Amino acid sequence: MRDDVGQLLWIGFEGTTVPPALGKALAAGEYGATILFKRNLAFSVVHGGEAALAQEVCDVDALLALNADLHRSAPDGTPALVAVDQEGGLVQRVRAPATHWPPMRTHDGFAAPDDTALAEQVGLALGHELRALGFDIDFAPVLDIHTNPANPIIGDRAFGTEPETVARRALAFARGLDAAGVLACGKHFPGHGDTATDSHLELPRIDHLMDRLERVELVPFVRAAAANLPMIMTAHVVFAALDATRPATLSELVVRDLLRGKLGYRGVIVSDDLDMRAIADRTGAGEAAVAAIRAGCDVLLLCRDPAHQDEAQAALLRAAETDTELRRRIGESAARVRAMKRAHAENQRDRPAPSRDVIGSYTHRQLADRLAGR
């Protein structure tokens, strides 16, 4: 049970090297993956000419060494993976010397089918750079639809303002990541595009009727389920038409009945970060972890607080001692995560990692310029 729970916990940490305690925990199989943020990257400041601004440049050697150290295996041989948020626009943890991609909304500058072909090329190029840096997972593409100009968190992260357009472009981007040997994760189910608040800070609520959700918000996720996207991330958002009291991450009506049941999704369901205030301010990490697994999530993200990581692990183990259904759910999710990891290893064997020369290459910068309309 401890090994199975470990596969479900994907965590963040502080520092630019692997803390000794984390190294031991990964080797013991206590965590299934780690997630890197800007705080984990080492930088140097590069000064340009007299009129040029100083620029922070990621130390690629340090990042490669960090990711190599994080790639440890549990006692049963199951590897720990390394994940990152690398969407483009504001949400890309690794920038210079990597290619700086414009936000995905800039695909609006291209008509079909050119926009779809371009999205796949961008996903492939971005994926090649992540692969060369030692990453396994990109928490992208965003499947949310930008329908609310006042939305403080999605905005130009979305691939567009129309359901079919977003679905077509985002899934093309995901195909590019897959061709590079990187796992994609579509987010944020069942749709964060029409919220007026940021779930990092508070719990948003959407009061649309089911008919509207089916016509708009759910369309990209229906397509993603049919395309067998390897992972889908849930939203910390209350959808009144689905569950009027619980955020999607903690609701079996949303995760189990809708995503797994009605939409027929068979991949790995990932919670958004349980450290976000939409969850943390209302539910303890332990209670939220158990509720999310009961609801149908397979993986729990705990991106910052080590106390929350310990609390989530302890709560799952404690509850599983007396709850046979929860034990079954934990085992089911762990098996799904391990199966994804095996498929990922096979995909990487078929697609050898590119050399580090692809990182910020001239060809990739040309592609970014084309996407930006330059």
The model's pLDDT over 330-347, given as tens digits with 9 standing for 90+, comes to 999 999 999 999 999 999
pLDDT band at 48 (very low <50, low <70, confident <90, very high): low
Check whether 51 has a pLDDT greater than 70: no
Q: What pLDDT is stored for residue 367 in this prediction?
A: 98
pLDDT band at 50 (very low <50, low <70, confident <90, very high): low
- Average pLDDT for residues 315-323, to the nearest whole number? 97
d(CA 103, CA 101): 7
Q: Which of 271, 240, 241, 244 is nearest to 255 (CA)?
A: 271
Check whether 261 has a pLDDT greater than 90: yes
Three-state SS at 289:
helix
The structural domains of the chain, ordered by start, are 80-372 (3.20.20.300)
The tokens of 257 are what? 């009945």
> Cβ distance 171 to 219 under 8 Å?
no
> Cβ distance 274 to 292 under 8 Å?
yes
The CB density around residue 351, as the number of other CB atoms within 10 Å, is 16
| Percent above pLDDT 90 for the chain | 89
Active site residue 364: no
Residue that is written with structure tokens 């977003």 in the block: 166
Residue from 194, 243, 272, 275 carrying the catalytic annotation: 272
Q: What is the CA radius of gyration of the chain?
A: 20
Q: What is the pLDDT of residues 196-228, one digit of tens each?
A: 877 677 788 999 999 999 999 999 999 999 999
Residue from 59, 156, 198, 200 carrying the catalytic annotation: 200
Q: What is the pLDDT of residues 223-234, one digit of tens each?
A: 999 999 999 999
Helix, strand, coil content of the chain in percent (nearest 5): 45, 15, 40
Residue that is written with structure tokens 């199966």 in the block: 339
Active site residue 200: yes
